[in-house]
Amino acid sequence: MGDRRECGCIYRGLRTGACGSYNKRGDYLIMENYAVIGHPISHSKSPLIHNRHFETVGRKAIYTSYDVPSRQLGAAVEAFRTLDVKGFNVTVPHKVDIIPFLDVVDEEALKIGRSTR
């Protein structure tokens, strides 16, 4: 893997990497990564809500959104595993299509035919 300092993502003044960020002094901060996936996803308020919560409680975490077409669900889940994403939410239209890609599916989710991880 390359040097994480080359990541160009910015969140609230922090340059973010796959599993952490650098503050303005260049100190590396370990961050937990969380996400929401859907298609489309631009309407989602989840990143705003969760990032505000993380900031309020002083948790070193970031919550991002990803626009993932159905045909790329498997690749997205595998990428989240590789990047050690701690958890992700699933929104429309993937609540049914995501089930085959999950490690564990709650019995209730199987009964109703949809899931959120």
CB atoms inside a 10 Å sphere around CB 90: 25
Residue of 24, 45, 86, 95 marked active site: 95
For the question of residue 95 being annotated catalytic, the response is yes
Cα 49 off chain centre by: 13
Question: Beta strand pairing status for 20-22 and 14-16?
Answer: antiparallel
User: Taking a C-beta distance cutoff of 8 angstroms, is the pair 66, 76 a contact?
Assistant: yes
Active-site residue list: 95
